[in-house]
Chains A and B, each alone.
Chain A
Protein backbone atom coordinates (compact mmCIF):
# COMPACT_ATOMS: atom_id res chain seq x y z
CA UNK A 1 0.00 0.00 0.00
CA UNK A 2 0.86 3.68 -0.05
CA UNK A 3 3.52 5.00 2.32
CA UNK A 4 4.00 8.73 2.96
CA UNK A 5 7.11 10.07 4.67
CA UNK A 6 7.18 13.64 6.00
CA UNK A 7 10.16 15.78 7.04
CA UNK A 8 11.11 17.47 9.24
CA UNK A 9 9.12 16.34 12.28
CA UNK A 10 9.66 19.71 13.96
CA UNK A 11 10.45 23.10 12.45
CA UNK A 12 11.20 26.32 14.28
CA UNK A 13 11.33 29.55 12.28
CA UNK A 14 11.54 33.25 13.05
CA UNK A 15 8.46 35.30 12.28
CA UNK A 16 8.66 36.57 8.73
CA UNK A 17 10.89 33.74 7.52
CA UNK A 18 9.77 30.94 5.20
CA UNK A 19 8.95 27.37 6.22
CA UNK A 20 9.25 24.34 3.95
CA UNK A 21 7.89 20.86 4.66
CA UNK A 22 8.64 17.93 2.36
CA UNK A 23 6.81 14.67 1.76
CA UNK A 24 7.58 11.63 -0.35
CA UNK A 25 5.12 8.96 -1.42
CA UNK A 26 5.55 5.42 -2.68
CA UNK A 27 2.57 4.69 -4.95
CA UNK A 28 3.08 6.16 -8.40
CA UNK A 29 -0.69 5.92 -8.95
CA UNK A 30 -1.34 8.57 -6.28
CA UNK A 31 -3.03 11.56 -7.86
CA UNK A 32 -4.29 13.79 -5.06
CA UNK A 33 -2.14 15.49 -2.41
CA UNK A 34 -3.79 17.60 0.32
CA UNK A 35 -2.18 19.47 3.18
CA UNK A 36 -3.91 19.86 6.53
CA UNK A 37 -3.22 22.16 9.47
CA UNK A 38 -4.12 20.93 12.94
CA UNK A 39 -4.09 23.04 16.07
CA UNK A 40 -3.84 21.38 19.45
CA UNK A 41 -6.93 19.30 20.22
CA UNK A 42 -8.73 20.44 17.08
CA UNK A 43 -9.74 18.87 13.80
CA UNK A 44 -7.41 18.94 10.78
CA UNK A 45 -8.27 21.80 8.43
CA UNK A 46 -7.54 21.60 4.71
CA UNK A 47 -5.25 24.47 3.73
CA UNK A 48 -4.29 23.58 0.18
CA UNK A 49 -4.32 20.61 -2.18
CA UNK A 50 -2.86 19.69 -5.53
CA UNK A 51 -3.73 17.13 -8.16
CA UNK A 52 -1.27 15.18 -10.24
CA UNK A 53 -1.95 17.11 -13.44
CA UNK A 54 -0.55 20.29 -11.84
CA UNK A 55 3.03 21.04 -10.80
CA UNK A 56 2.46 23.98 -8.51
CA UNK A 57 -0.40 25.75 -6.75
CA UNK A 58 -0.40 28.93 -4.71
CA UNK A 59 -2.86 30.52 -2.31
CA UNK A 60 -1.64 33.78 -0.78
CA UNK A 61 1.28 32.87 1.52
CA UNK A 62 0.95 29.13 0.95
CA UNK A 63 2.22 27.16 -2.04
CA UNK A 64 2.55 23.49 -2.85
CA UNK A 65 4.83 21.92 -5.46
CA UNK A 66 4.63 18.42 -6.86
CA UNK A 67 7.35 16.39 -8.59
CA UNK A 68 5.67 13.25 -9.93
CA UNK A 69 8.88 11.80 -11.32
CA UNK A 70 10.61 11.94 -7.96
CA UNK A 71 7.36 11.23 -6.07
CA UNK A 72 7.65 14.10 -3.69
CA UNK A 73 5.68 17.23 -2.87
CA UNK A 74 6.36 20.19 -0.63
CA UNK A 75 4.51 22.87 1.31
CA UNK A 76 5.95 26.38 1.34
CA UNK A 77 4.77 29.02 3.79
CA UNK A 78 6.16 32.51 3.24
CA UNK A 79 6.21 35.46 5.64
CA UNK A 80 5.35 33.20 8.57
CA UNK A 81 3.23 34.57 11.41
CA UNK A 82 2.71 33.28 14.97
CA UNK A 83 -0.75 31.98 14.00
CA UNK A 84 0.96 29.62 11.53
CA UNK A 85 2.21 27.64 14.55
CA UNK A 86 0.50 24.22 14.38
CA UNK A 87 1.03 20.67 13.19
CA UNK A 88 0.92 20.21 9.42
CA UNK A 89 0.12 16.92 7.72
CA UNK A 90 0.60 15.91 4.12
CA UNK A 91 -1.40 13.09 2.58
CA UNK A 92 -1.76 11.19 -0.66
CA UNK A 93 -4.59 9.23 -2.24
CA UNK A 94 -5.39 7.21 -5.32
CA UNK A 95 -8.75 8.03 -6.89
CA UNK A 96 -9.19 4.53 -8.26
CA UNK A 97 -8.65 3.06 -4.79
CA UNK A 98 -11.55 4.84 -3.13
CA UNK A 99 -9.73 8.09 -2.36
CA UNK A 100 -8.31 6.66 0.85
CA UNK A 101 -5.92 9.19 2.33
CA UNK A 102 -2.55 8.03 3.63
CA UNK A 103 -1.04 10.61 5.96
CA UNK A 104 2.51 11.57 6.75
CA UNK A 105 3.61 11.67 10.37
CA UNK A 106 3.20 15.43 10.72
CA UNK A 107 5.46 18.46 11.19
CA UNK A 108 5.19 20.61 14.27
CA UNK A 109 5.85 24.20 13.19
CA UNK A 110 6.72 26.86 15.75
CA UNK A 111 6.90 30.47 14.60
CA UNK A 112 8.86 32.56 17.08
CA UNK A 113 7.86 36.24 17.34
Chain B
Protein backbone atom coordinates (compact mmCIF):
# COMPACT_ATOMS: atom_id res chain seq x y z
CA UNK B 1 0.00 0.00 0.00
CA UNK B 2 3.01 2.30 -0.06
CA UNK B 3 2.24 2.82 -3.77
CA UNK B 4 -0.96 4.74 -3.05
CA UNK B 5 -0.63 8.42 -2.28
CA UNK B 6 -3.23 10.96 -1.25
CA UNK B 7 -2.93 14.71 -1.07
CA UNK B 8 -3.25 16.95 0.71
CA UNK B 9 -2.99 15.44 4.18
CA UNK B 10 -5.29 18.16 5.56
CA UNK B 11 -7.78 20.24 3.59
CA UNK B 12 -9.96 23.11 4.69
CA UNK B 13 -13.17 23.98 2.91
CA UNK B 14 -15.15 27.18 3.08
CA UNK B 15 -18.92 27.32 2.78
CA UNK B 16 -20.10 26.89 -0.80
CA UNK B 17 -16.69 25.79 -2.05
CA UNK B 18 -15.86 22.71 -4.09
CA UNK B 19 -12.63 20.95 -3.15
CA UNK B 20 -10.78 18.11 -4.86
CA UNK B 21 -8.89 15.33 -3.11
CA UNK B 22 -6.13 13.61 -5.01
CA UNK B 23 -5.48 9.85 -5.13
CA UNK B 24 -2.64 8.37 -7.17
CA UNK B 25 -1.32 4.81 -7.37
CA UNK B 26 1.71 3.35 -9.13
CA UNK B 27 0.73 -0.28 -8.51
CA UNK B 28 -0.86 -0.75 -11.95
CA UNK B 29 -4.13 -1.54 -10.20
CA UNK B 30 -7.30 -1.48 -12.28
CA UNK B 31 -9.81 -0.82 -9.50
CA UNK B 32 -9.91 2.22 -7.22
CA UNK B 33 -12.27 3.19 -4.41
CA UNK B 34 -13.16 6.19 -2.22
CA UNK B 35 -14.36 5.78 1.36
CA UNK B 36 -15.47 8.22 4.00
CA UNK B 37 -14.74 7.62 7.69
CA UNK B 38 -16.46 9.62 10.42
CA UNK B 39 -15.01 9.69 13.95
CA UNK B 40 -15.48 6.41 15.78
CA UNK B 41 -17.21 4.79 12.83
CA UNK B 42 -16.51 2.37 10.02
CA UNK B 43 -15.76 3.19 6.41
CA UNK B 44 -18.53 3.92 3.90
CA UNK B 45 -18.11 3.63 0.14
CA UNK B 46 -18.56 6.85 -1.87
CA UNK B 47 -17.56 5.88 -5.43
CA UNK B 48 -15.58 3.14 -7.11
CA UNK B 49 -14.03 2.53 -10.51
CA UNK B 50 -13.05 -0.82 -11.97
CA UNK B 51 -11.63 0.48 -15.22
CA UNK B 52 -10.53 3.73 -16.83
CA UNK B 53 -13.37 6.03 -17.94
CA UNK B 54 -15.93 4.12 -15.88
CA UNK B 55 -17.12 4.53 -12.28
CA UNK B 56 -20.13 3.65 -10.12
CA UNK B 57 -21.83 5.21 -7.13
CA UNK B 58 -21.32 3.67 -3.73
CA UNK B 59 -23.58 3.93 -0.71
CA UNK B 60 -23.13 7.66 -0.02
CA UNK B 61 -22.41 9.32 -3.40
CA UNK B 62 -24.64 12.38 -2.95
CA UNK B 63 -22.60 15.59 -2.87
CA UNK B 64 -19.51 13.96 -4.38
CA UNK B 65 -18.16 13.50 -7.89
CA UNK B 66 -15.23 11.57 -9.38
CA UNK B 67 -13.39 11.04 -12.64
CA UNK B 68 -11.14 8.26 -13.90
CA UNK B 69 -9.33 9.61 -16.96
CA UNK B 70 -6.09 7.79 -16.15
CA UNK B 71 -5.51 4.37 -14.64
CA UNK B 72 -3.29 5.73 -11.89
CA UNK B 73 -5.51 8.61 -10.79
CA UNK B 74 -8.97 8.78 -9.19
CA UNK B 75 -9.69 12.28 -7.84
CA UNK B 76 -12.68 12.97 -5.62
CA UNK B 77 -14.50 16.32 -5.63
CA UNK B 78 -16.50 17.29 -2.57
CA UNK B 79 -19.12 19.69 -3.85
CA UNK B 80 -21.02 22.41 -2.02
CA UNK B 81 -24.02 20.07 -2.08
CA UNK B 82 -22.30 17.91 0.57
CA UNK B 83 -23.56 19.64 3.69
CA UNK B 84 -21.51 17.71 6.23
CA UNK B 85 -18.14 17.06 4.57
CA UNK B 86 -15.96 16.95 7.69
CA UNK B 87 -14.45 13.46 7.72
CA UNK B 88 -11.38 11.34 6.99
CA UNK B 89 -11.31 10.36 3.30
CA UNK B 90 -9.54 7.17 2.28
CA UNK B 91 -8.68 6.01 -1.19
CA UNK B 92 -8.02 2.34 -1.92
CA UNK B 93 -7.07 0.22 -4.89
CA UNK B 94 -7.08 -3.44 -5.89
CA UNK B 95 -5.32 -5.25 -8.71
CA UNK B 96 -8.44 -5.90 -10.75
CA UNK B 97 -12.08 -6.75 -10.33
CA UNK B 98 -11.22 -10.43 -9.79
CA UNK B 99 -8.79 -9.60 -6.97
CA UNK B 100 -10.66 -8.60 -3.86
CA UNK B 101 -7.82 -7.35 -1.66
CA UNK B 102 -7.90 -3.57 -1.26
CA UNK B 103 -4.96 -1.48 -0.10
CA UNK B 104 -5.46 1.96 1.37
CA UNK B 105 -3.74 5.30 0.94
CA UNK B 106 -2.79 7.46 3.95
CA UNK B 107 -5.99 9.52 3.85
CA UNK B 108 -7.02 13.17 3.68
CA UNK B 109 -8.66 14.89 6.60
CA UNK B 110 -11.22 17.46 5.42
CA UNK B 111 -12.35 20.20 7.76
CA UNK B 112 -14.92 22.92 7.22
CA UNK B 113 -14.04 26.50 8.16
Contact = CB atoms under 8 A, between A and B. Distances in A.
Contact of A103 (B42, B94, B98, B105): B42
A14 B33 CA distance: 37
A43 B1 contact: yes
Interface residues of chain B: helix, strand, loop or mixed (majority): loop
Given A98-B50, A98-B56, A93 B100 contact: yes
A12 interface: no
Interface string A35-65: 0100000111110010100000000000000
A113 interface: no
22 contacts: A42-B107, A43-B90, A43-B104, A43-B106, A45-B1, A46-B101, A46-B102, A89-B42, A89-B43, A91-B43, A93-B100, A95-B98, A98-B31, A98-B56, A99-B31, A101-B33, A101-B102, A103-B42, A103-B44, A105-B41, A106-B41, A106-B42
Interface of B: 1, 31, 33, 40-45, 48, 50, 56, 58-59, 90, 94, 97-107
